[in-house]
A = this chain, B = another copy of it.
């Protein structure tokens, strides 16, 4: 337990100092779930020590979501009391900091609930959150919070205490808590990711090509597609790191220009199912054929969700310095899994990934956004510039730019 106690304290410091970069006098919104008390308390203490004016805890309990889906009148399920969204907007108005703790606390609790009912109740997500993110009025971060149930999900063959210890060790490693100065380590890593993202944007690429075993995929970009690393600044200039950990640089592609075949390099877990050996063929932007060693029907269902679900909303590159992929562990948590390797996402794209407002309407729209991993040391990535010149981007997992 001594190690875990130390990790809790170190991760709290990292969330407050590097992640949200809490400023003296700020309100800090802290979003957790039952079972994450130790970390949220350590974060609260670190935030007050950093000069926070008030730490405003909000707790989401998935047990209540389950009870609602099972017992409430179906017509009431989309209802959200007005003050929940109003609070989020007020956090923006007040220029607050926001810290959220990710990681499942009760992974199988909704397994037996009709997914259609669950889709009607979208909480804890509220649309106001996206608006505050786009307004860039809050300095925010998401950090992972290991819990016993999560540890057992990730390491089912271990005894629960050993599983929890291993998950914490892995989280500590990927969050660089094992560095002498984790904040300095993240500053160095972010500086590199920002350098790469600027270099990629400056190349003004027309498309990106992935080439490797089972993969030959070309993804067209939009004229103003720009590459983003997770070092953000608020409108007031507060630099922060929205994801801890983060390893990716990503952009928003042209949903009309994706062609070729791609094979997933890591399993995809979605809708409670494992999809392995996923193979997708794209033609003029659309996923026209989906096969897999296991679980193909789940992905076929996903791409049929709506008009945009068969097109891409994101392409992201991760180099071999990323610490998540080498662990060869599926964490069942997007914050970690999407940073394991270069990936693409079926579904909606981020406005952040284009520079010209005129391109915003060309961004793919969909109710889904499902990442799957297509990169690895054996997959080469090239960029093709507007003039036709090819530029090597990743070889053997190393940046060539």
Interface residues, chain A, CB within 8 Å of chain B?
25, 27, 34, 37, 40-41, 44-45, 48-49, 51-61, 63-64, 67-68, 70-73, 76, 79-84, 86-87, 90, 94
5 tightest A-B contacts by CB?
Answer: A48-B71, A59-B59, A45-B67, A44-B64, A41-B63
Residues of chain B contacted by A49 (CB below 8 angstroms): 71
Cβ–Cβ contact B53 & A61, under 8 A: no
Report the copy number of this chain in the oligomer: 2
Residues of chain B contacted by A87 (CB below 8 angstroms): 83, 87
How far in angstroms is the closest Cβ of chain B from A184? Answer: 24
Q: A37-B34, A81-B27 are in contact. Are A64 and B71 (CB under 8 A)?
A: no
How far in angstroms is the closest Cβ of chain B from A339? Answer: 30
22 A-B pairs (CB sep. < 8 Å):
A40-B61, A41-B61, A41-B67, A44-B61, A44-B63, A45-B71, A48-B68, A48-B70, A53-B72, A53-B73, A53-B76, A54-B80, A57-B64, A58-B59, A81-B90, A82-B90, A83-B83, A83-B86, A83-B87, A83-B90, A86-B86, A87-B87
A48 to B70, CA, bound (A): 9
Residues of chain B contacted by A44 (CB below 8 angstroms): 61, 63-64, 67-68
How far in angstroms is the closest Cβ of chain B from A134? Answer: 21
A328 to B25, CA, bound (A): 48
A292 to B48, CA, bound (A): 41
Partner of A67, one of B55, B59, B80: B55
Partner of A54, one of B34, B54, B81: B81
Cβ–Cβ contact B68 & A55, under 8 A: yes
Residues of chain B contacted by A45 (CB below 8 angstroms): 67, 70-71
A83 to B128, CA, bound (A): 15
How far in angstroms is the closest Cβ of chain B from A58? Answer: 8
Residues of chain B contacted by A68 (CB below 8 angstroms): 44, 48, 54-55
Residues of chain B contacted by A84 (CB below 8 angstroms): 56
How far in angstroms is the closest Cβ of chain B from A39? Answer: 12
Residues of chain B contacted by A73 (CB below 8 angstroms): 51, 53
